[in-house]
C-alpha cells in the first residue's frame, strides 16, 4: 500500500464529504489495516479518521447503520493503530 492510496481517501474538502465514505467501510478498513505505517506517521490522517468516527457518532443527519460503520472503523483504528491515537482521541472526551 502506498501513501498515494491512503491520501486519495483523505483528500476531502469538507466534513459532509465524509458521510459518503462511511458506506465504504471495507476500503477504510483496508487503508487502516495495510496502511497503518503511513497513517501512524501522519497526524492529519489520524485526525481525519477520528473526525469521520466522531461525525458518525454525533451527527443528527446520520442513522443507526452509519453509527455501526463508525464503530467498526473505530475498532479497526484501535486494533491497528495501537498507541498512536492518544493525541487525537483525547479531544473527544
Q: Which residue's C-alpha cell is 492510496?
A: 5
**64-90 core/surface letters (b: 16 or more CB in 10 A; e: else):** eebbebbebbbebbeebbeeebeebee
pLDDT per residue of the chain (93 residues) written in tens, 0 to 9: 445 444 555 454 344 455 555 667 778 888 899 989 999 998 888 888 888 888 888 888 778 888 888 889 899 999 999 888 887 765 554
Stated pTM of the model: 0.73
What's the rounded Cα separation, in Å, for the pair 49 and 42?
11
Amino acid at each position: 500500500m502506498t501513501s498515494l492510496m491512503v491520501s486519495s481517501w483523505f483528500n476531502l474538502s469538507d466534513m459532509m464529504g465524509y458521510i459518503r465514505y462511511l458506506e465504504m467501510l471495507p476500503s477504510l478498513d483496508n487503508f487502516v489495516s495495510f496502511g497503518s505505517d503511513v497513517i501512524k506517521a501522519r497526524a492529519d490522517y489520524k485526525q481525519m479518521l477520528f473526525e469521520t468516527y466522531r461525525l458518525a457518532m454525533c451527527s443528527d443527519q446520520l442513522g443507526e447503520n452509519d453509527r455501526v460503520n463508525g464503530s467498526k472503523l473505530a475498532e479497526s483504528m484501535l486494533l491497528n493503530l495501537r498507541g498512536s491515537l492518544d493525541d487525537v482521541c483525547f479531544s473527544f472526551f
